Amino acid sequence: MAPFKIALLQSDICFGDPVSNRQRLGHMMKTAMEQQPDTDLLVLPELWNTGYDLQRLDEIAEPVEGESYRLLADFAAEYRVNIVGGSIAERRESEFYNTEFYNTMYCFDRTGHVKAAYSKIHLFGLMHENDYLQPGKSLCNLELDHQLKAGAAICYDIRFPELSRTLAMRGAQLLIVAAEWPHPRLHHWKTLLTARAIENQMFVIACNRVGSGGGNHFCGHSLIIDPWGEIQAEGSELEEIVTGIIEPEQVSEVRSRIPVWQDRRDDLYYKG
Ligand SMILES: NC(=O)CCC(=O)C(=O)O
């Protein structure tokens, strides 16, 4: 399997201003591809179109396949690159004709076709998500370039090891995380992501935003972690593009060194 070149777009986000955010992220995606034209995968942060301006979702959330979605799809096709589009604040009409809002990640292949969609399943009460958003109802596994198996998570999701374990058991060799993770929990961010990599013997790549908004100051420190738990690349707390190369073979190599998959005691674990 060929090495995979990754760029995490660790951007700031303008609170409640999708037009500026599309300009900002559009520019950053171009810069990433100019700096490294053979990049295989771009990853954006969580809620990059609106930030956490949840009170104004009625005004600023986008319809399904709205402008932010189109920006990502068109860019993926033009630059022949895979994109995991962080997440977008999205509006949907329910079957009862109510408007509902979701925190949704779209993943595009190199032709601009959507490969997978994932709406955040664990809503984060500390940032009032459960007052405004509906939780997603399914998990998300996907395949990049028909060779690299991945699973998706959004921010708070990384606190739930059952999620990454399930994605890994469904074949994921790579966990892709989009986040708006604030201080003072930088230590949790790094520790949880490293634990997810070590316990599942998988790559973890995580794109966090920087800057401030809605009373939070976001940590940055986007990470590329290998299946042995070593940090291959780490962002600062400033806007930047964090890059790295992952070698998919390392997953089977690490899994053969410590056989945790064979040694699991599924017969004893809690099943609900
Ligand atoms: N946007 C989020 O889900 C933030 C999660 C977070 O900060 C945490 O501590 O968990």
Atom nearest to 120 CA in ligand 1: 3
The pLDDT of residue 194 is above 90 = yes
The pLDDT of residue 46 is above 90 = yes
61 CB-near residues (< 8 Å, 6+ apart): 50, 89, 90, 91, 101
Q: Which domain holds residue 61?
A: 4-263
In a domain, 96, yes or no: yes
What CATH number corresponds to the domain at position 199? 3.60.110.10
Confidence of residue 94 (pLDDT cuts 50, 70, 90): confident
In a domain, 118, yes or no: yes
Q: What average pLDDT does this structure show over 161-171?
A: 98
In a domain, 207, yes or no: yes
Residue 156 near ligand 1, beta carbon < 6 Å: yes
Distance CA 85, CA 214 (A): 22
pLDDT of residue 96: 83
In a domain, 268, yes or no: no
232 CB-near residues (< 8 Å, 6+ apart): 224, 225, 226, 244, 246
> Pick the catalytic residue: 14, 46, 140, 190?
46
Q: What average pLDDT does this structure show over 104-118?
A: 98
Helix, strand, coil shares, percent, the chain, to 5: 30, 30, 40
Q: To the nearest whole number, what is the mean pLDDT of the chain? A: 97
In a domain, 178, yes or no: yes
In a domain, 39, yes or no: yes
In a domain, 272, yes or no: no
pLDDT of residue 13: 98
Distance CA 191, CA 111 (A): 36
The pLDDT of residue 272 is above 90 = no
The pLDDT of residue 128 is above 90 = yes
pTM of the predicted structure, to 2 decimals: 0.98
Compute the distance from residue 124 Cα to the ligand 1 centre, in Å.
6
Q: Report pLDDT digits (tens) over 215-260.
A: 999 999 999 999 999 999 999 999 999 999 999 999 999 999 999 9
Distance CA 91, CA 89 (A): 7
Residue 13 near ligand 1, beta carbon < 6 Å: no
Q: What average pLDDT does this structure show over 5-33?
A: 98
The pLDDT of residue 271 is above 90 = no
Tally Cβ neighbours within 10 Å of residue 67: 14
The pLDDT of residue 95 is above 90 = no
Catalytic annotation present for 120: yes
Mutate to test the pocket of ligand 1, among 181, 185, 193, 210 (most ligand atoms within 8 A of CB): 181
Number of structural domains, the chain? 1
In a domain, 229, yes or no: yes
Catalytic annotation present for 271: no
pLDDT of residue 211: 98
